[in-house]
Amino acid sequence: MAQLRIALAQVNPTVGDLAGNADLVVEWTGRAAAEGAHLVAFPEMMLTGYPIEDLALRKSFVDASLETLGNTARRLAGEGLGELPVIVGYLDRRSDIEPQVGMPAGAPQNAAALVHRGRVLARYAKHHLPNYGVFDEYRYFVPGDRLPIFRLHGIDVATVICEDLWQEGGPVSVIREAGAQLMVVINGSPYERNKDDVRLELAARQAQEAGAALAYVNMVGGQDELVFDGDSLIVDAAGELIARGEQFAEDLLVADLDLTRVEGLLAVGEAPVDAADGTTMTVERLLISDDPPPPYQQEPRPYAQRLDDLEEVYAALVTGTRDYARKNGFESVILALSGGIDSSLTATVATDALGPKRVHAVLLPSHYSSEHSVTDAEDLVKRQGIHGRTVPIAGIVDAFGEEIDLHGVAAENLQARVRGMIIMSLSNEHGHLVLTTGNKSELATGYSTLYGDSAGGFAPIKDVLKTTVWQLARWRNAQADARGETPPIPENSITKPPSAELRPGQLDTDSLPAYDVLDPLLDDYVERDMGRDALVAAGHDPALVDRVIRLVDAAEYKRRQYPPGPKITPKNFGRDRRLPITSRWRGSVTPPR
C-alpha cells in the first residue's frame, strides 16, 4: 500500500472575477501545502466561477480564462508552491474543429487542468454535458474525448468533472479499464433538499464501478438562484465513506489515503479506449513521480457533522441571500415588514446572512392593518436589533383614490403597489437591495401583486412552500431557545392566520385552500409535473385540482417578472421550470370549463 495525502479546496468563487478566483487558488494551495498535501483539487470552473451562461460564448472571456490559467500556474511556482500538483477548473476551447451550425460559438469547453512546476501538464474537458433542470450545457460547451491519467508517488490518478459521475459509462468505465487507483471529481453541484444523500450513494456506486477511491470536491456559495452547499467527500474503492467536508462553508478537506501502488514502469503516451457509453476516449498517461513519499504519521480523517433537514434548507437561504448581496456590491437590504410569517422569516434570514445593522425594515400600515400586525412587526425589530421605520400609507392611498376611481381587487392592490413604490424609492435613495417576501405557494397561485409585493431585487423564500415557511420559523426559534437567546420571530407571527390585510377581515383562505391541502397538490403539479388525471388518481380533490391548475398556469406571466431567489427544491420557478405564458393546455385533452 502507498500513502497519499489529498486536499479538497471547497471554496466560493465569483463568476467573472478571474483575478479574485486565482487569488483563492493560490491562497488555498498554500494552506494545502502547509497541511502536507501531495495533491490539491479545486471545484469545477474555479477560475471563471460557475455557471457562466453566455459568457462562455464570448471569445474575450475564453481568452481571459486561458491567460489566467497560465498566469496562475506561474504564480504558484513563483510563490514556492510549484511542487504541489493542483487540479483546477477553468474555461477552455477546442481549436481543432471547424465552426458549424448547432455548435456553441468558439467551441468552448468546461475543463480541468493539472498544474505543476509552473506549467499546465494536462487538460481534461467534461465528457457528459447535462442538459436538464438548471443545466443547459449543450448550449455552451462541446464535450471532451481525452482522459489524462497521471502517476503521482506511484498512484495513477484520473480527473473527471461533475456530470461525468452522474452518467453511466463514459469516463468512469474508461478509468476502470485503465486501472487508475484514484478518481478526482471536481464539481459545481447545486444544492437541492436531500441531495447530499443522493450524492453519497452515487459516489459510492461509481467508486465501486471504477475500482478506485473517489475524491469529490464541490464548490460552496451562492450564484444568482443557485446555492452550492460544499459537502465534499471521499470514498474508498469499496464505496465506504472515509472523509466528509462542511456544508455551506468554505473548507479544506485533507485526508490520508491508503492506495495500492502501481507496480512496473509507466507506459507514457496515448491509447484509445472504448467507453461503456459507446464513445471512444483517448487515455493520455503522464508521469509526475513514481517513488512513494517518505513514510509519515497519518492524521485522523475529518468528518463534518451533518445538518438536519430544516437546518440545511435554512443554511441554503442564508447562503444565497448573503452571496447575492455581497457579490453584487450591496452593503444593506430593505424589506416591507408586515408582522406576518413570510416577512418575518425573510427578515430573519437577512439578519443571519448580513447582520442586524445591515437590515432595514419598513412598517407600512394601511386602513386595514390590524393592531397586532404593527405590534408584531415592532416586536421583531426589537428582538433582532435591525433598523425599523414606520411609514403609514393610508393617506397616500387616499390621495390616489381621489384621482382615480378603483374598486374591488384593483383598490386592494393599490395598497400593495404603494408599498412597493415606497420600498423601491427608499432603495434608490439609500442603495439598499430590496428583498421580496413572497413564498412559493403564493408565487405558484398568483397570490401576489405585480409592482407591489412582488417588486424587489432578491426573493429569499421564493422556493419555499408556505407550510415549510412555518416549519423554518419554528425551527429557527427553537435553535435560539436552545442557545439561550431570544427567539427572533414573535410567536404571534407564527400562530395567527395568514392575511394580506388589503380589506377588512381578509384571510388567505378566502382566496386559497388551506396550505396543508394546497402545498401537497402544488408539490405534485409543479415539482413532479403530474397531469390532471394523475393528480386526481393521487387522491387530490378533482374540483380543487382543476382550480389550482388554472391558478398556477394563469400566473406564469407574473413569475416571469419576479426577482431571483435561492433554489432549494428540484424544480424552482426560474431556471428549472420554463413554460409558455400563452397556453391553453390545462392538464387534459378536454379541460374543464
User: Cell numbers at residue 231, please?
Assistant: 459537502
Please report the sign of the dihedral spanned by the C-alpha atoms of residue 85, residue 89, residue 94, residue 95: negative
User: Cell numbers at residue 435, please?
Assistant: 428583498
User: Cell numbers at residue 136, please?
Assistant: 443547459
Going from the C-alpha of 346 to that of each of 321, 523, 567, the distances in angstroms are: 10, 22, 15
Distance CA 245, CA 29 (A): 17
**Is residue 403 among the annotated active site residues?**
no
**Is residue 270 among the annotated active site residues?**
no
Active-site entry in 35, 59, 98, 126: 126
Distance CA 503, CA 449 (A): 14
Of 63, 76, 60, 61, nearest to 23 by C-alpha is 76
CB 417 within 8 A of CB 438: no
Active-site entry in 44, 163, 246, 412: 44
Q: Please give the helix or strand (H or E) that residue 228 lies within, else none.
A: strand 226-229
What SS3 state is found at 182?
Answer: strand
User: Cell numbers at residue 69, please?
Assistant: 490559467
CB 536 within 8 A of CB 545: yes
Which residue has cell 451550425?
Answer: 101
Of 128, 35, 29, nearest to 79 by C-alpha is 29
Distance CA 110, CA 427 (A): 38
> What amino acid occupies position 557?
Y
User: Cell numbers at residue 234, please?
Assistant: 471521499
User: Cell numbers at residue 543, please?
Assistant: 374540483
Distance CA 591, CA 593 (A): 6
Active-site entry in 137, 162, 440, 501: 162
Going from the C-alpha of 56 to that of each of 53, 138, 435, the distances in angstroms are: 6, 11, 30
**Is residue 246 among the annotated active site residues?**
no
Catalytic residues: 44, 126, 162
